[in-house]
Amino acid sequence: MNIDPTRRQAARAALTLDDEALLKACEVDYFIASGPGGQHRNTTASGVRLTHAPTELSVTATERRSQSQNKDTAVRRLREGLQALTFVPKVRKATRPTAGSKRRRLDAKRRTSEKKSARGGKDGW
């Protein structure tokens, strides 16, 4: 996953903020969450969507019937997403098998071949 360095830097900066400052840096949308939960959930705007513009990261929370509980869940998810954006994978180096491992592999193949050909049988099988 190749992430733009400015986006990674913005995610690091956002992680240093407390919850209120992080919410101020986000665009907060409230919407009517669908699904199970009864009449109360279906008639109130309890779903919360947070969009962090500098990192273009968007999270939603619709599990609870309470808007404040969903907002807390969305902030937690946003922090998890920002944390994932700051991850820098190690650079992998291509390796080659050693001469000894090549020799051992070829010896094992030769022994297996000799064992199978020694079985004999009808028509050489």
pLDDT in tens, 52-107: 999 999 999 998 888 899 999 999 999 999 999 999 889 999 999 999 999 999 99
pLDDT for 61-75, tens place per residue? Answer: 998 888 899 999 999
Residues in the chain: 125
Cα within 13 Å of Cα(35), Cβ side: 10
Instruction: Please calculate the CA angle 12-19-14 and round it to the nearest 5 degrees.
Output: 15
- What is the domain partition of the chain in residue ranges? 5-85
What is 5-85's CATH topology? Answer: Double Stranded RNA Binding Domain (3.30.160)
DSSP string, 42-95: HHS--EEEEEETTTTEEEEE-SSS-HHHHHHHHHHHHHHHHHHHT--PPPP---
107's tokens: 């010896």
- Rounded-to-integer distance, Cα 112 and Cα 125, Å: 14
